[in-house]
Amino acid sequence: MGEEKVRILVAKPGLDGHDRGAKIIARALKEAGFEVIYTGLHQTPEQIVNAAIQEDVDAIGLSILSGAHNTLMPAIIKLLKERGIDDIVVFGGGIIPDDDIPFLKSQGVAAIFTPGTPISETIEWVKKNVKPRHKRK
């Protein structure tokens, strides 16, 4: 009698204190039927990766407004790899210049949603691209 749910960690790494965007995304994902683990502000990459592992999530959504995305996003992906995990989808949003997107993608970030992206677009992307990890292969 299985009921497979997609689980997503929504996290805010770094020092900026604005979590409205993260909360809006968390809520929209919930409305779309996902199980969202929300961890709050000021998370270190270590905390985020630990939470993702313990919660066995299928994706991590990162919200960064501080400008530190080029450091924080790759750091998280690197830590995941160090723990032997390469199948958690990492996506992000926030104030991220278009010029930085190719670099972030080359580091393994699956998608970046910049300001002005309709929430529905992000949700559709998640629906299409994130499946339960234990069912992939």
Partner 1 sequence: MTGKLSEKVLKGDTVATARVLRLIDDGLPEAREIMKKLYPHTGKAHIIGVTGAPGAGKSTLVTKLIGLYRRDNLKVGIIAVDPTSPFTGGAILGDRIRMQDHGTDPEVFIRSVATRGHLGGLSKSAWEMAKVLDAMGKDKIIVETVGVGQDEVEIIGLAHTSVVMLVPGLGDDIQAIKAGILEIADIFVVNKADRPETNRMVRDLEVLLEMAGLKEREWTPPIIKTIATRGKGIEEIREAIENHHEYLKRSGKLEEKIKAQREKELQNIIMEMLREKIFSRIDKEKMDKLIEDIASNHKDPYSIAEEILSSILN
Contact residues toward partner 1 (CB under 8 A) are 1-5, 7, 26-27, 29-40, 43-44, 46-47, 50-51, 53-56, 83-85, 132, 134
Query: Least CB distance from residue 26 to partner 1, whole Å?
Result: 6
Shortest Å distance, C-beta 100 to partner 1: 27
Given the complex with partner 1, which of 84 and 116 has the nearer CB atom? 84
Report the alpha-carbon distance of residue 27 to residue 22 in Å, rounded: 9
26-32: list long-range contacts, CB under 8 Å, 24+ apart.
Answer: 28/119, 28/122, 28/123, 29/61, 29/123, 29/126, 32/123, 32/126, 32/127
Nearer to partner 1, 1 or 98 (CB): 1
Least distance (Å) between residue 82 CB and partner 1: 12
Q: How many Cβ atoms are within 10 Å of 43's Cβ, its own excluded?
A: 20
Pick between residue 23 and residue 101 the one whose CB is nearest to partner 1: 23
Least Å from the CB of residue 33 to partner 1: 5
Evaluate whether 78 touches 88 at the Cβ level (below 8 Å): no
Cβ 27 vs Cβ 79: under 8 Å: no
